[in-house]
């Protein structure tokens, strides 16, 4: 399968679809997952158009992982979570549903189970308030 520019994350990158953004630099973008599995579920994507983990040049992948660490630290502080889960699904059989490479950042808490993957849309006002908490932490870190 080759990269399709019709995917929703490509549209977010082109500002043709909305997103509760938390971070952006020359090579990466981070925004709230619209169907969060836990409060604070955040996605980090490269701007490079790669369908999955295997189609991206190493430098762009390195920049993406750097952003995962930066944003992950802010998510951890914003949601007072001691456990951060990072997930990356490559391929339909692995559960991938959006075919633009992305890393999930999931703050975990004792006793709080993950909701189903990509199932239920969250209210945009809730996503925006979560994004603001993370942006506040990023501002504090810089
Ligand atoms: P995956 O199944 O690993 O490809 O993950 C795709 C993720 O994108 C899921 O967690 C979805 O909830 C999320 N998602 C789908 N559409 C949007 C959207 N418009 N904005 C933000 N996140 C989305």
Catalytically annotated residue among 102, 104, 110, 117: 102
**Phi-psi bin for 71: left (phi > 0), alpha (psi -120 to 50), beta?**
alpha
The pLDDT value recorded for residue 30 is 99
Q: Are 114 and 37 in contact (CB under 8 A)?
A: yes
102 in catalytic set: yes
DSSP state of 92: G
- Nearest one of 129, 138, 140 to 36, comparing CA atoms: 129
Tokens for 113?
Answer: 């189970």
The ligand 1 atom nearest the CA atom of 35: 12
Helix, strand, coil in percent for the chain, rounding step 5: 35, 20, 50
Residue with token string 């295997």: 54
Tokens for 91?
Answer: 């391929």
Pocket lining: 52 vs ligand 1, CB cutoff 6 Å: no
Q: How far is the CA of 110 from the centre of ligand 1 (A)?
A: 24
Tokens for 31?
Answer: 């925004």
Q: How far is the CA of 82 from the centre of ligand 1 (A)?
A: 24
Report d(CA 44, CA 67) in Å as an integer.
7
Digits of tens for pLDDT over the chain (142 positions)? 689 999 999 999 999 999 999 999 999 999 999 999 999 999 999 999 999 999 999 999 999 999 999 999 999 999 999 899 999 999 999 999 999 999 999 999 998 899 988 889 999 999 999 999 999 999 999 8
């Amino acid at each position: 399968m080759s990269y399709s520019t019709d995917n929703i994350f490509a549209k977010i990158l082109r500002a043709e679809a909305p997103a509760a953004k938390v971070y952006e630099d020359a090579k990466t973008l981070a925004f709230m997952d619209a169907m969060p599995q836990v409060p604070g579920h955040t996605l980090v994507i490269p701007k490079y158009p790669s369908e999955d983990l295997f189609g991206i040049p190493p430098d762009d992948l390195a920049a993406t992982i750097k952003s995962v660490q930066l944003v992950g630290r802010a998510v951890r502080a914003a949601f007072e979570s001691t456990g951060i889960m990072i997930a990356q699904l490559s391929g339909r059989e692995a559960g991938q549903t959006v075919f633009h490479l992305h890393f999930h950042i999931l703050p975990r808490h004792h006793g709080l189970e993950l909701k189903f993957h990509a199932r239920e849309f969250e209210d945009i006002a809730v996503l925006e308030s979560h994004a603001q908490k993370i942006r506040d932490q990023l501002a504090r870190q810089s």
